[in-house]
Structure 1
Amino acid sequence: SLLQLKLWNKYRVSNIPSLIFIDASTGKVVCRNGLLVIRDDPEGLEFPWGPKPFSEVVAGPLLRNNGQTLDSNALEGSHVGVYFSAHWCPPCRSLTRVLVESYRKIKEAGQKFEILFVSADRSEDSFKQYFSEMPWVAVPYADEARRSRLNRLYGIQGIPTLIVLDSKGDVITRQGRVEVLNDVECREFPWHPKPVLELTDSNAVQLNEGPCLVLFVDSEDDGESEAAKQLIQPIAEKIIAKYKAKEEEA
């Protein structure tokens, strides 16, 4: 029905089952990942399951692969890549090899950047083996509750996923995987989203992130393509600003 379609669009439902919690007094979304919430908190101890800041969700000890521990407040003031990955996943292992080099280049450039590994491995031995290849920090494998909360915070539905945060813990991009693969020299770090992109196989997934304006250009001439980008740049900026305003209202 038309009402069902409106609700699907309003709450950006892309698959079912989907459970979204709403504040009845304001109509604002409290939680978009209701299924993960009731799985992780069946007793309702954290009800009403409102959004929490990254700093609160990640709070606790973190590990380095040499056994050293540090507190999560060591991440404060840095850009953070929250990396959801697992050794059993071939695309994850491929991305990790690229990400290690990206991490090194960003650090050598003097940028304040850290990566936080959130494991989806099936055993602690697999976690340790995989983590031994990583120069960054991780949530301890034994802390399943914290790993689940981070998955829930970002609505992770598949791996590998790299969420890039600014120094305040706000999301810059959910498409860190695409950015790392497309910018191997890390010249555009921290990869703030661009209003206008040239559509490729690797960034096509962003068509599902929100409203998009697609301009088809019947030319392979770089000059014409650049002129087309400049033409739709102000329109794209207005669409993004309007979309962000709606997100804040929701």
Structure 2
Amino acid sequence: MSGFLEELLGEKLVTGGGEEVDVHSLGARGISLLGLYFGCSLSAPCAQLSASLAAFYSRLRGDAAAGSGAGAGPGPGAGAAAEPEPRRRLEIVFVSSDQDQRQWQDFVRDMPWLALPYKEKHRKVSGAGLVCAPGVGAQLAPSPEPGLEFPWGPKPFREVIAGPLLRNNGPALESSSLEGSHVGVYFSAHWCPPCRSLTRVLVESYRKIKEAGQKFEIIFVSADRSEDSFKQYFSEMPWLAVPYTDEARRSRLNRLYGIQGIPTLIVLDPQGEVITRQGRVEVLNDEDCRGFPWHPKPVLELSDSNAVQLNEGPCLVLFVDSEDDGESEAAKQLIQPIAEKIIAKYKAKEEEAPLLFFVAGEDDMTDSLRDYTNLPEAAPLLTILDMSARAKYVMDVEEITPAIVEAFVNDFLAEKLKPEPI
């Protein structure tokens, strides 16, 4: 393990007091979990997280010391001191993005854990098992006892959803009743107008799917601001719901799927694996539910309803002149084998594909996208757009071939392309 850590972090770390610590000593101390805390002294969320993390860290280290019999000799007949629980063998390393060494020193001084030396702050750190950052820090206190669920590893849906589920027309059901069914996890709230609009459509879709003999259930996860609002909204729904009073379970479901906005409908297969996170788009585009359970298509034709997916991560978009008969379909057929290959490669690693694939024709949505991203009017035009990074990669050639597309994708994934700002 020490070789990996030295490659990751370098040879030395420092304490808050400025003392150097050999990285290889971490392995010798039995550290089995390494938390990388990425932060900055100028960030208010980082300051808030540091306070919570310090309390958690101190308690965890204290528990481990007590468990190992620290401070007490074995005594006659006591036997060997108990080993600390493996789950508690944690060390944290702070990785700073500070640009001022004095600010870094002031911030690190109060930390009870280790830090990457300031001179090493540009080291590319990746690949560790546990990452502590402001987004993860919210998980430190999901219950009255902070850190109860440490080390916060991902849990399967069946474990997160475990417990009673409400229904309007009868007694509560246990989550085990979902076994063998496709499940839609519906994050919504009465105060949200788009949610109410989607709910009306979803009620009809739910009815059609059930009447077709499909084993399908929806679970409402409320973001309402009061229990009365929850009850009023849920009374319109023919499916199940997590009790409003079970805030911990609702919070865990939000964290499990990284919910950033509502309404969101996530469709799961009978094993609890995600089929699509775009249930909202699918329901609105498939009035008769013929495509249920809506397995993702390798290549999408850009439209008003699916354009929101451009914000989910890097997207390859092939712009074509759709005034030519069959041009869009031919473009999809050209891209599809490459998209399928990428999707299969990452699925084998149990990872999401790093790209979505679109074909864009000539319409108002495409015009708006070109204007927003400052793209030329050329067609065909091969691009990769990364909205969150406000970056674009453009290949303007007269003819798009499978070899050109595949090389473009591979160069992007290998970080060989130079981005242009959006």
Q: TM-score normalised by the shorter chain: which range applies?
A: 0.7 to 0.9
Which one of the candidate residues 129, 142, 164 is aligned to 1:40?
Answer: 142
Residue matched to 2:215 = 112
Residues of 1 paired with 2:307 and 2:132: CA distance? 26
Letter in 2 for 1:151: N
Give the fraction of aligned pairs with identical amino acids, expressed as a percent: 84
Which one of the candidate residues 173, 177, 180 is aligned to 1:77?
Answer: 180
Residue matched to 2:128 = 27
Asked if 1:163 is matched to 2:266, the reply is yes
Relative distance call for 1:158 and 1:36 in structure 2 (3 A) is farther
Alignment map for 1:3-152 (pairs within 5 Å): 27-28=128-129, 33-41=135-143, 43-152=146-255
Residues of 1 paired with 2:131 and 2:241: CA distance? 28
Determine helix, strand or coil for the equivalent of 2:316: coil
Residue matched to 2:335 = 232
Determine helix, strand or coil for the equivalent of 2:220: strand
Whether contact under 8 Å (1:118, 1:138) holds in the other structure is: yes
Residues of 1 paired with 2:132 and 2:210: CA distance? 35
Deviation per residue, 1:227-247 (Å, 9 max, x gap):
111111101112223344565
Residue matched to 1:3 = none
Deviation per residue, 1:125-183 (Å, 9 max, x gap):
11111001000000111111111111111111111110100000000111111111111
Relative distance call for 1:31 and 1:245 in structure 2 (3 A) is farther
Residues of 1 paired with 2:324 and 2:349: CA distance? 37
Residues of 1 paired with 2:227 and 2:315: CA distance? 42
Residues of 1 paired with 2:129 and 2:212: CA distance? 41
Residue matched to 2:303 = 200
Deviation per residue, 1:45-71 (Å, 9 max, x gap):
111100000000000001101352110
Which moved further from structure 2: 226-235 or 126-135?
Answer: 226-235
- Normalized per residue, the structure richer in strand is 2
Compute the TM-score of the two structures, normalised by the length of structure 1. Answer: 0.84
Compute the TM-score of the two structures, normalised by the length of structure 2. Answer: 0.51
Whether contact under 8 Å (1:30, 1:49) holds in the other structure is: no
Residues of 1 paired with 2:309 and 2:197: CA distance? 21
Which protein has the larger Cα radius of gyration, Structure 1 or Structure 2? 2
Determine helix, strand or coil for the equivalent of 1:40: coil
Answer 1 or 2: higher relative contact order, Cα 8 Å, separation at least 6.
Answer: 1
Which moved further from structure 2: 117-126 or 212-221?
Answer: 212-221
Relative distance call for 1:17 and 1:234 in structure 2 (3 A) is farther
Determine helix, strand or coil for the equivalent of 1:87: coil
Which one of the candidate residues 205, 214, 218 is aligned to 2:321?
Answer: 218
Letter in 2 for 1:159: I
Question: Displacement of 1:40 after TM fit?
Answer: 2.1
Letter in 2 for 1:40: P
Letter in 2 for 1:43: P
Whether contact under 8 Å (1:63, 1:70) holds in the other structure is: yes
The aligned length equals: 231
Determine helix, strand or coil for the equivalent of 2:301: coil
RMSD of the TM alignment (CA)? 2.6
Residue matched to 1:13 = none
Which moved further from structure 2: 69-78 or 30-39?
Answer: 30-39
Letter in 1 for 2:311: N
Residues of 2 paired with 1:243 and 1:208: CA distance? 20
Letter in 1 for 2:227: E
Question: Displacement of 1:17 after TM fit?
Answer: 6.6
Determine helix, strand or coil for the equivalent of 2:293: coil
